[in-house]
Amino acid sequence: MKTLSKSLLLLAGAVLSSPPALAQPVCGSGIALQLLGSGGPISDDARASSGAVIWINGKARLLIDAGGGTYLRFGEAGARLEDVDFIGVSHFHTDHVADLPAILKGGYFLSRSHKVALVGPTGNANFPSMTAFFSREFSEGRGAFSYLSGLSNASDGLHLAVHPTDVAVAKAMRSKVWQGDGVTVYALGIPHGDVPALAFRIETPKGVIVLSADQNGSRKEFIDFARGADILMMPAAIDDNADEQSRFLHATPTVVGKIAAAVNPKVLVLDHFMGRALRDKDHNVQIIRSFFKGRVVAGRDLSCFPL
């Protein structure tokens, strides 16, 4: 017993004295999409929920969505908060935004202040807008994380000045939401049942990346928005036999396949797998491939797609 306790202590000491090295970025030195999470809203898929970073010249400059688990994957990817200039939130389901406060809290530990644009959808009776969400999380005195109220202006020990903006989801035309280093980001409302939601289009000198979050695929303007994409990311949340409510929220494999065929990207990346969708993954990918003849990749956490 005594020996066992001693060896446990030695083991604990070894762990404490040898923290893991900081992850080095491995997702290319140019421009690339890296998934942080490829899973859905249930923990039955052993994956982080939705989130991705865009690497620009070796830095993770853009973060799109921050669902549960992406906080951990962000660090594992070698991404650094001080490099992030733009955060896009597709919608306010937990699997797309739950880790946002945890990631932003890192602003306490930066050596110098910088600005971050935070862009999300307008709200409705059931969901907040981006600005309302930010206020409910971080406003002084009233926010759930009031102790992080300095995030609004890089004060109170925080070295991030986060500027939230709402993008009207009903707007017919795309909105330009960020520009820097030859990269331009656009947003467009997408139909995710009655949940206000946005897709993001990232135009870079090396090509175009379009990230669709959850949507049922019924808005034809999305095809024009996504046209010319080298990489198109679409959720693969449900199967073709899903019930009506699920199809009101999500696109079936048939719908994803038809959208991909119309957009015709160089690669279609699938994410947002839930336990059930993982079991049906091969079959669903087969359905998608019956419509879209290009390259289809079922994404995993930390999958990297250079342009």
Half-sphere exposure of 207 (CA within 13 A, CB side): 18
* Contact assessment for residue 194 and residue 174, using Cβ atoms and an 8 Å cutoff: no
Q: How far is the CB of 150 from Zn ion (least distance, A)?
A: 30
Looking at 139-249, list the stretches that DSSP marks H as alpha helix, in order from N- to C-terminal side.
Answer: 221-226, 244-249
Q: How far is the CB of 40 from Zn ion (least distance, A)?
A: 9
Please give the structure tokens belonging to residue 221. Answer: 């303007």
Q: Which stretch binds Zn ion (CB under 5 A): 91-99, 167-175, 199-207, 233-241?
A: 91-99
Q: How far is the CB of 92 from Zn ion (least distance, A)?
A: 9
Q: Which stretch binds Zn ion (CB under 5 A): 9-17, 20-28, 209-217, 273-281?
A: 209-217
Question: 28: left (phi > 0), else alpha (psi -120 to 50), else beta?
Answer: left
Cβ proximity to Zn ion: between 213 and 307 the closer is: 213
Asked if 271 interacts with Zn ion (CB under 5 A), we say no
Q: How far is the CB of 124 from Zn ion (least distance, A)?
A: 14
93-132 burial, b at 16+ Cβ within 10 Å, e below that, comes to bebbbbbbbebbbbbeeeeeeeebbbbbbbbeeebbbbbb
Please give the structure tokens belonging to residue 149. Answer: 């109220």
Per CB under 5 A, the list member of 73, 93, 159, 201 interacting with Zn ion is 93
Q: How far is the CB of 108 from Zn ion (least distance, A)?
A: 30
Instruction: Say how many residues touch Zn ion, by CB under 5 A.
Output: 2
Q: Which stretch binds Zn ion (CB under 5 A): 3-11, 13-21, 85-93, 282-290?
A: 85-93
Cβ proximity to Zn ion: between 78 and 128 the closer is: 128
Cβ proximity to Zn ion: between 90 and 284 the closer is: 90
Beta-bridge partners for 136:
none
Q: How far is the CB of 199 from Zn ion (least distance, A)?
A: 12
Cβ proximity to Zn ion: between 154 and 198 the closer is: 198
Cβ proximity to Zn ion: between 160 and 274 the closer is: 274
Please give the structure tokens belonging to residue 69. Answer: 């688990």
Cβ proximity to Zn ion: between 30 and 193 the closer is: 193
Asked if 214 interacts with Zn ion (CB under 5 A), we say yes
Q: Which stretch binds Zn ion (CB under 5 A): 77-85, 88-96, 101-109, 141-149?
A: 88-96
Cβ proximity to Zn ion: between 25 and 67 the closer is: 67
Q: Give the residue from 61, 71, 87, 84 showing the smallest Cα distance to 36.
A: 71
* Contact assessment for residue 137 and residue 98, using Cβ atoms and an 8 Å cutoff: no
Q: How far is the CB of 93 from Zn ion (least distance, A)?
A: 4
Asked if 250 interacts with Zn ion (CB under 5 A), we say no
Strands 114-121 and 86-88: parallel
Distance in angstroms (rounded) separating the CA atoms of residues 210 and 162: 24
Distance in angstroms (rounded) separating the CA atoms of residues 307 and 295: 14
Interface with Zn ion (CB under 5 A): 93, 214
